[in-house]
Structure 1
């Protein structure tokens, strides 16, 4: 892949696929399946594939390997491939794999998909499309978007801040740090940008970019916004990675002068149900940081995650709050019930997307703790000396 002046420029409109398998019949079959829609490189020897990756680690958009091969098996090969090219999705082909072996493979090699052999042609093609361009499976990230974000973090990323207020008196109680990509936002919404990179290691880089910005401008932040907590978004995928969590805690310990930080984790990812996520999240709480369950009510995981505990509070999704102005009895009753249930569990409740006084008054009445939304302030840039005042580049999304 080539980059030029902050824009992602693929060398080909086709995804570059590396397939490793010692079965000549399978290699021939896959060539027939993929050759018209992919740039395909096949290797029958995993050692040859490793040499190829070391020579050119950025040449491939996806790596596919059979499980059973002479010398080293597919899990071991993909583990080495992960070390060489960590950002490239990895797929394992297997005739049979036990549940424990599958978990071990996913954890050890960071495998994105396991495909059971024999492989139907449409499954192979949709897997490649889904992991490289986001076409085959809407739940998977677009690698191209992840690379766009990776490039934008160098020169085309900034952080805006949106206030939160106490519900009882509407006094400012905190700020949420929100990533903005001025160049990318000429084509994509913030939601498309973030969701496109959600399951890619670059989402962790984005977190550290935001924390670095806060650290660099801590004095300006205190002067402009006061000494209030700042919330930072974390991806469930990042929390599921023990290396990311260790690096995050080390960073926080190494920067004791940072403003008081809180973290928000979206509920819209099944990664939040993995054992790794459940093991790693309490480490942030033990380190003294509040963690909020973000986007509560937007998906299907809200109640299930609430049962798991591990959260200091929750943020009611803006889609729920928007419907309050329509005098929707079901939604208003649900918001009230959630607020009461959260308080019984010792959790605080924040409502985001508050855009009218009627909504704010209702939420205040039912006991929501804090409010966030356009009624109290749009996301805004820091007023840095010698820089132009920046405007939010046309988005209503709050991630």
Structure 2
């Protein structure tokens, strides 16, 4: 034991001066340690010390006026007090020791049994045990790649910082940062290069932050920064700009010079909330807005974003109600042969009427994804599509497939394949009448984060269900990636077909490249968003055989889609 460990600072929390003097005298008799003793006579004073204790151990009397050690132990756990607490009592009880240990006390000592050696041993063990506990926590709460804290540690430190700020009347800021186009670097140069870049970014963040600030990596290319002792919002903005400047310096990694940019969202205490979850949620929303504005952007949480947050919460509440009361509608948009416009199948598209308002999928699907509600919504969509196929079979129509959009979250939950199997079995629907659509970007994310996604896609295909890659061309996939995925169909994103709103094809070269690539891999191609004869003609000339879009039909209600299915071609409307 070194000299530093022999000097121990003790806070004795006891409202009886006589008891304090007895314990103080015992500690002064110690030959092994030099105890520096401080007397705290009230529980309110002790509460102030819990947040940033200027001691190595607390000796806490169980009874403190109308309150007990129980109250302080609960408070200590809440603020993650780093100093151990040993509880003392003059009352004989067979249950008090179990109670205080369960609440986080390091030990329990009856006052009548105390001796110098017992106090020495108890205090030393309490401190050593607490150190080991904190070291283990640090290991669990550190990002293994960068050595920064992880989300769990960030939330704990933020909670303690908020307690200090509330006590002192000071301010703090929570910053959420992620790297722009990091996924593109990962895909093109590989994960080892991406990891080296993350290490470099972590070092740059450490270099520009003060010791009192805290940086964590909470996943992927997302970092959080806690800044204390702010005078105003401009201070936090200046720090954010300094971070952007440091991160955006050219990075030489693995023989490549990478130009990186970042986006930062920011929430302030007390203006934007007084709880960790609220501040982190609002910083995340501000980050989303910063990314929408462009590269190297910083965005504070504002009243407009508060309105968006309230809308988000209202949508979430409405979605739960819609699930319980079956308030969704499933529309069907025809997919047709570009040569004669005969129907080949339909894409199922969900719609939701929220009161008198028709909520666009682009508004409610992101909320459903973020809250996990996309899983039960996706199951409803699948089961409804299968019910449609059953009704068509009863009418003698059994040769048109319906494609359903599937979120990667549905695959990651691990139950989608089982749900699909049970639905096919209960409805006796032929598997080839169903097609699963998953977006290119989310397919790649799922492949990188969870190999089970690709395994489940293979299982889906083994059932006889086709798989389509939706929104193709909007992500950063390569031919090498596409060869790995068990896909049957590639859908050209409508932004490349009619994205500019003109008569002509928006991106003819991209469309031609997709058709050529799909043909080489033996995949079918469906062009989305065909709105003009000119677009249809160019796509046919390239060899694209299937399409969908407003040129032939917008999404149809089931009864109208049934008329199309019975006719086998576009029906006069």
TM-score, reference length from structure 1: 0.62
Question: What is the alpha-carbon distance in structure 2 between the residues aligned to residue 285 and residue 220 of structure 1?
Answer: 24
Which residue is 1:109 aligned to?
none
Which residue is 1:368 aligned to?
544
Match of 1:271 among 446, 449, 452: 446
Which stretches of structure 1, 4 residues or longer, exceed 4 Å deviation after superposition?
Answer: 20-28, 72-76, 112-126, 141-144, 222-226, 301-305, 323-330
Question: What is the alpha-carbon distance in structure 1 between the residues aligned to residue 483 and residue 517 of structure 2?
Answer: 11
Which residue is 1:92 aligned to?
152
TM-score, reference length from structure 2: 0.45
Which residue is 2:384 aligned to?
213
The one-character-per-residue Cα deviations of 1:77-129 (angstroms, maximum 9, x if unpaired) are xxxxxxxxxxxxx953369xxx9xxxxxxxxxxxx956989855658565333
Match of 1:191 among 337, 362, 382: 362
Question: Using CA pairs below 8 Å that are at least 6 residues apart, which structure has the higher relative contact order?
Answer: 1
* Structure with the bigger percentage of helix: 2
**Do the aligned partners of 2:328 and 2:352 also contact (CA within 8 Å) in 1?**
yes
Matches of residues 221-232 of structure 1 in structure 2 within 5 Å?
A: 221-222=392-393, 223=395, 227-232=399-404
**Do the aligned partners of 1:267 and 1:302 also contact (CA within 8 Å) in 2?**
no
Question: What is the alpha-carbon distance in structure 1 between the residues aligned to residue 469 and residue 350 of structure 2?
Answer: 18
The structure-2 alpha-carbon separation of the partners of 1:344 and 1:118, relative to structure 1 and needing over 3 Å to count, comes to closer
TM-fit CA distance, 1:130:
5.8
Question: What is the alpha-carbon distance in structure 1 between the residues aligned to residue 139 and residue 456 of structure 2?
Answer: 24
Question: What is the alpha-carbon distance in structure 2 between the residues aligned to residue 272 and residue 184 of structure 1?
Answer: 38
Matches of residues 1-399 of structure 1 in structure 2 within 5 Å?
A: 25=79, 92-93=152-153, 113=218, 119-120=226-227, 126-129=279-282, 134-137=285-288, 145-153=315-323, 154-183=325-354, 186=357, 188-222=359-393, 223=395, 227-257=399-429, 260-269=433-442, 270-274=445-449, 275-301=451-477, 305-323=481-499, 326=502, 331-383=507-559
TM-fit CA distance, 1:187:
6.0
**Do the aligned partners of 1:231 and 1:262 also contact (CA within 8 Å) in 2?**
yes
Structure 1: any 5+ residue segments left out of the alignment? 1-19, 29-44, 49-67, 77-89, 100-111, 385-399
Question: What is the alpha-carbon distance in structure 2 between the residues aligned to residue 282 and residue 377 of structure 1?
Answer: 32
- Secondary structure (helix, strand or coil) at the match of 2:437 reads strand
Question: What is the alpha-carbon distance in structure 1 between the residues aligned to residue 545 and residue 133 of structure 2?
Answer: 58
- Secondary structure (helix, strand or coil) at the match of 2:336 reads strand
Tell me how many residue pairs correspond in the alignment.
299
Question: What is the alpha-carbon distance in structure 2 between the residues aligned to residue 382 and residue 329 of structure 1?
Answer: 30
**Do the aligned partners of 1:199 and 1:237 also contact (CA within 8 Å) in 2?**
no
